[in-house]
Chain A
Amino acid sequence: DAGVTQSPTHLIKTRGQHVTLRCSPISGHKSVSWYQQVLGQGPQFIFQYYEKEERGRGNFPDRFSARQFPNYSSELNVNALLLGDSALYLCASSLIGQGNQPQHFGDGTRLSIL
């Protein structure tokens, strides 16, 4: 069975541009979460979506937005990119988004801002 898939794997942008990252969850999983992992740190929670509705939002500016589609795939959008947005962006899925369920992670999108 396919795991969580993310695209693209690598992306280079310049300051001020915007970016869209995509994620397909494991088949049957209805919850998708997004995390930012800066080099040498643990992942930081950005968003959680379940059944197309936002269920949680981390401490990130409004430049970050996301949505979930009827097929449970998801997009993360970041506007007005800053150098500090350079990071590995991880998508994770779980069955129904409850706290005792593990999240299954994709390999991430490496975003570099020049």
Chain B
Amino acid sequence: GDSVTQMEGPVTLSEEAFLTINCTYTATGYPSLFWYVQYPGEGLQLLLKATKADDKGSNKGFEATYRKETTSFHLEKGSVQVSDSAVYFCALSLNTGNQFYFGTGTSLTVIP
């Protein structure tokens, strides 16, 4: 079935370090891919998206490229800040509907 597998956390980084959170997917057809971020006590906020192969989504210094050949959508940021501490979710949506399949989330803590 359709699913998303995320790198397990928690991840702890020093400020200004490079971040990669791995995400791979399994889907029938051609999904759209998303990264969401969840801050403590809040709902999910859209971070970035890509709707077709080779698309790159970017926002707030975060980037992810839709790689069909490796079925991946890894999240990267060149220099993390303390304010980036949150839980990050990779998700896919099939273009035949709007049901989202989420990964289990990766908790990121950035220390000064």
> Which residues of A approach B to under 8 Å, CB–CB?
4, 31, 33, 35, 40-45, 48, 50, 55-56, 58, 90, 92, 94, 97-108
Contact = CB atoms under 8 A, between A and B. Distances in A.
B17 interface: no
A55 B97 contact: yes
Given A99-B94, A105-B43, A106-B43, A42 B102 contact: yes
A43 B46 contact: no
Contacts, number: 76
A99 B100 CA distance: 8
B99 A90 contact: no
A33 B100 contact: yes
B45 A55 contact: no
Contacts of B89: 42-43
B96 A107 contact: no
Contact of B98 (A44, A48, A105): A48
Contact of A48 (B44, B97, B105): B97
Residue from B91, B99, B102 with most neighbouring chain A CB atoms (10 Å) = B99
A73 B104 CA distance: 28
A104 B36 CA distance: 10
Given A41-B105, A90-B43, A105-B44, A100 B93 contact: yes
B46 A102 contact: yes
28 contacts: A33-B100, A40-B104, A40-B105, A41-B104, A42-B89, A42-B91, A43-B89, A43-B100, A45-B100, A45-B101, A48-B97, A48-B99, A56-B97, A56-B99, A90-B44, A92-B44, A97-B98, A98-B95, A99-B31, A99-B32, A99-B93, A99-B95, A99-B96, A100-B93, A102-B49, A103-B46, A104-B46, A105-B45
B42 interface: yes
Contacts of A48: 97-99
A59 to B, nearest CB: 10
Nearest to B107: A40
B98 A31 contact: yes
